[in-house]
């Protein structure tokens, strides 16, 4: 029986992770969720899970020392998975301080409480020892590596070594916009307040491993997409706006490239690292799905238009006519300051060492994501009432 303390599990990836482990391990695990329920945290995302006897929800801040100490004292926690963070680059540009508080100091507090709770003494060399089987996993991002060049306007076939190719069954759609990729050895070079705060969190996590011997891993993933994604991020925002017949704000010329990772693939990778990853190692988790923003937006438009025509029962969700769903909705708006051009993860290490690869091609994942959104409009409406309207006006009103 393993006990997971999952922070930020009322958010996008954390809620998917909790569903994934409960599906996989059922009542053979205990799950404690710690979440402050900021604008990004929604209990509606984990409604069914909260009813299970082996799930406990605690509302609170990862930076609250007394609270986290109490949770660690009252429970024999085996795994801490720290998803909790301020996660939106655009918000970090308007309010950097909150990002440093939550993402850096919150992480340091979680590490400190883990160290205190798991500490068992000193070995013959005077090094700290910890209770066996414990692990702290920091969920990080590829944005810590900074920005890559976009070398090709049109994507080129992606070359892979034979050893990685062997693991990556069934993915024949691999392409790239550049010659270089983020590996675990790529120097850290964050460029936004968000990525700088995540980099600092990674450094303090590694410092706890090197200095105190704390058993840790770090995973650095690319852009996730899938169910329960808050519509301030590109894909869910575009889906929401299309249904409302609103303009689709594309920053700059839409040429920036992201590597899209289906959230369920990510969750599988996280649990694998937690259970089988070598202590002290960093693992990159990417989607092998590089795409430019403009192509993403055009694909989403085309899929929604097709679904609306083929399955007219969905047209009741539209606040516009099906004929309005076309590229004319795209509006190029002022670019994000310091906008990173391209992210592309090389996930060879996790493929070779743990046999993981991103199973979901973008064409499959994006259709699933759009259909999930169409079928869960009450969830979308519940998370975008109130503050969201003000946020949207502030962020896009004068752009």
Q: Is residue 143 annotated as part of the catalytic site, yes or no?
A: yes
Backbone phi, psi, residue 5, to 5°: -105, 110
Site string for ligand NAD, 49-88 (x = CB under 6 A): ------------xxx-------------------xxxxx-
- Residue from 77, 250, 261, 272 in contact with ligand TYD (CB under 6 A): 250
Provide long-range contacts, Cβ within 8 A and 24+ apart, for 48-54.
49/15, 49/18, 49/19, 49/22, 52/22, 52/27, 53/27, 54/22, 54/27, 54/29, 54/30
Residue 219 interacts with which of ligand TYD, ligand NAD, none, CB < 5 to 8 Å by class: none
As given in the structure block, the two tokens for residue 140 are: 């990080």
- Residue from 22, 36, 303, 370 in contact with ligand NAD (CB under 6 A): 36
Regarding 12 and contact with ligand NAD (CB under 6 A), the answer is yes
- Residue from 39, 251, 314, 379 in contact with ligand TYD (CB under 6 A): 251
For residues 269-328, which are near ligand TYD according to CB under 6 A? 293
- Residue from 3, 38, 128, 183 in contact with ligand NAD (CB under 6 A): 38
Residue 37 interacts with which of ligand NAD, ligand TYD, none, CB < 5 to 8 Å by class: ligand NAD
Regarding 196 and contact with ligand TYD (CB under 6 A), the answer is no
d(CA 291, CA 343): 10
Regarding 259 and contact with ligand NAD (CB under 6 A), the answer is no
For residues 164-223, which are near ligand NAD according to CB under 6 A? 198, 221, 223
Estimate the share of the chain in helix, then strand, then coil, as percent rounded to the nearest 5.
45, 20, 35
Least separation in angstroms between residue 90's CB and ligand TYD is 6
Backbone phi, psi, residue 63, to 5°: -90, 0
Regarding 234 and contact with ligand TYD (CB under 6 A), the answer is yes
For residues 116-175, which are near ligand NAD according to CB under 6 A? 139, 141
Q: Are 256 and 297 in contact (CB under 8 A)?
A: no
The secondary structure of residue 342, as a DSSP letter, is B
3-state secondary structure of 30: strand
d(CA 102, CA 108): 10
CA-to-CA separations, 360 to 168, 225, 228, 266, 357, in angstroms, rounded: 11, 11, 17, 10, 9
Q: Is residue 375 annotated as part of the catalytic site, yes or no?
A: no
As given in the structure block, the two tokens for residue 395 are: 């962020």
- Residue from 9, 18, 89, 270 in contact with ligand TYD (CB under 6 A): 89
Q: Are 269 and 208 in contact (CB under 8 A)?
A: no
Query: Closer to ligand TYD at the Cβ: 134 or 342?
Result: 342
Q: Are 340 and 191 in contact (CB under 8 A)?
A: yes
Pick the catalytic residue from 49, 61, 78, 142.
142
Q: Is residue 142 annotated as part of the catalytic site, yes or no?
A: yes
Q: Which residues are catalytic?
A: 142-143, 194
Interacting residue ranges for ligand NAD, rule: CB under 6 A: 7-8, 10-14, 35-38, 40-41, 61-63, 83-87, 102, 106, 139, 141, 198, 221, 223-224, 230
Interacting residue ranges for ligand TYD, rule: CB under 6 A: 89, 223, 233-234, 237, 249-251, 256, 258, 293, 336
């Amino acid at each position: 029986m393993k006990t997971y303390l999952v922070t930020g599990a009322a958010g996008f990836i954390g809620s998917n992770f909790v569903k994934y482990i409960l599906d996989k391990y059922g009542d053979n695990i205990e799950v404690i969720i710690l979440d402050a329920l900021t604008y990004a945290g929604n209990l509606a995302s984990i409604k069914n899970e909260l009813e299970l006897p082996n799930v406990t929800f605690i509302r609170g801040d990862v930076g609250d020392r007394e609270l986290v100490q109490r949770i660690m004292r009252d429970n024999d926690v085996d795994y801490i998975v720290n998803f909790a963070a301020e996660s939106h680059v655009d918000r970090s540009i308007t309010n950097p301080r909150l990002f440093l508080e939550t993402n850096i100091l919150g992480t340091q507090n979680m590490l400190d409480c883990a160290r205190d709770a798991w500490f068992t003494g000193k070995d013959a060399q005077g090094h700290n020892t910890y209770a066996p089987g414990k692990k702290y996993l920091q969920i990080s991002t590829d944005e810590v590596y900074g920005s890559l060049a976009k070398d090709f306007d049109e994507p080129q076939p992606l070359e892979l070594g034979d050893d990685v190719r062997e693991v990556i069954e069934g993915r024949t759609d691999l392409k790239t916009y550049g010659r270089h990729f983020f590996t675990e050895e790529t120097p850290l070079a964050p460029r936004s307040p968000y990525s700088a705060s995540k980099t600092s969190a990674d450094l303090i996590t590694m410092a706890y491993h090197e200095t105190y011997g704390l058993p840790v891993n770090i995973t650095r993933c690319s852009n996730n997409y899938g169910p329960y994604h808050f519509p301030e991020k590109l894909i869910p925002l575009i889906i929401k706006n299309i249904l409302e017949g609103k303009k689709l704000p594309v920053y700059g010329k839409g040429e920036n490239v992201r590597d899209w990772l289906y959230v369920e693939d990510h969750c599988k990778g996280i649990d694998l690292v937690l259970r089988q990853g070598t202590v002290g190692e960093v693992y990159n988790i990417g989607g092998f799905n590089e795409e430019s923003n403009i192509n993403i937006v055009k694909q989403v438009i085309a899929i929604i238009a097709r679904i609306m025509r083929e399955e007219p029962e969905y047209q009741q969700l539209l606040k516009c006519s099906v004929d309005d769903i076309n590229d004319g909705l795209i509006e190029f708006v002022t670019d994000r300051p310091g906008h990173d051009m391209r992210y592309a993860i090389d996930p060879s290490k996790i493929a070779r060492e743990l046999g993981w690869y991103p199973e979901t091609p973008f064409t499959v994942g994006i259709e699933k994501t759009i259909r999930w959104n169409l079928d869960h409009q009450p969830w979308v409406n519940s998370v975008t009432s109130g503050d969201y309207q003000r946020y949207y006006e502030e962020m896009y009103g004068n752009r």
